[in-house]
Amino acid sequence: MPFMREMILREGVIDSSARTIKQYLSVPGQAVVLVLGGAAEALDTKAGRYVLTIRRRKGFFRIAIQKGAPLVPSFGFGENDLWDTSLQPVSATSWVRRLQDWMYKKLTFSTPIFSGRGVFTYNFGMLPFRRPVYTVVGEPIEVTQKDHPTSDDIEALKERYITALRALFDKWKVRLQPNAELIIL
């Protein structure tokens, strides 16, 4: 679509490469919002069940330490309820899930099975259902700047972030989505 790239860039959307994030954080007063998750997590989407892959990630924790940028935990309750993923295979050993995993490894994008609503019908389509999403934001986690963080520095910050994110989830789930489950991998 002509001019789509320019419209997206005009809104401040940037790519999530380490180089670009470091460049933006080098400018005083700039902040970067990084949406965790991605193709692998899309395959684990279930209503009311949130599977976050954080423990094996190190890049954004390393950059936060290198730039001394605070991390602000946030969570979106209801995001996994926007589409119906009940047809998505539950078992990691099913042939459909194995095919999805294979496609993800070969094509670098995932193919979750989902349905939503249509333009004129509410029963089937590709649009998200009209359901509320509540985004909650926690207190900033202050980060001490260090040019060459060690693995221990990165792991310590990661654990602080995970603890803060879980506390934020537990604080708000009772009010917003009592049956929600958070799994951090």
Q: What's the pLDDT tens digit per position in 36-60?
A: 877 777 777 888 899 998 998 899 9
Which helix (H) or strand (E) is 155 found in, with range?
helix 151-176
Residue 154's pLDDT is 98
**Tell me, what's the pLDDT at 42?**
78
Q: What whole-number distance in Å separates Cα of residue 5 and Cα of residue 15?
A: 12
123 conformational bin, left if phi > 0, alpha if psi -120 to 50, beta if neither: alpha
Summarised one tens digit per residue, pLDDT across range 107-126 is 877 788 888 899 888 888 89
Residue 98 has pLDDT above 80, yes or no: yes
SS3 state at 134: strand
Look up residue 160 and give its two tokens: 């602080």
| Euclidean distance between CA atoms 183 and 148, whole angstroms | 31
Query: What's residue 142's pLDDT?
Result: 98
Q: Grade residue 90 by pLDDT with cuts at 50, 70 and 90.
A: low
Q: What is the pTM of this model?
A: 0.86
State how far the Cα of 76 lies from the Cα of 134, in Å rounded to an integer.
5
pLDDT at 29 over 80: yes
Q: In the predicted model, is pLDDT for residue 91 greater than 80?
A: no
By the 10 Å C-beta count (0-12 exposed, 13-18 middle, 19+ buried), 161 is classed as: buried
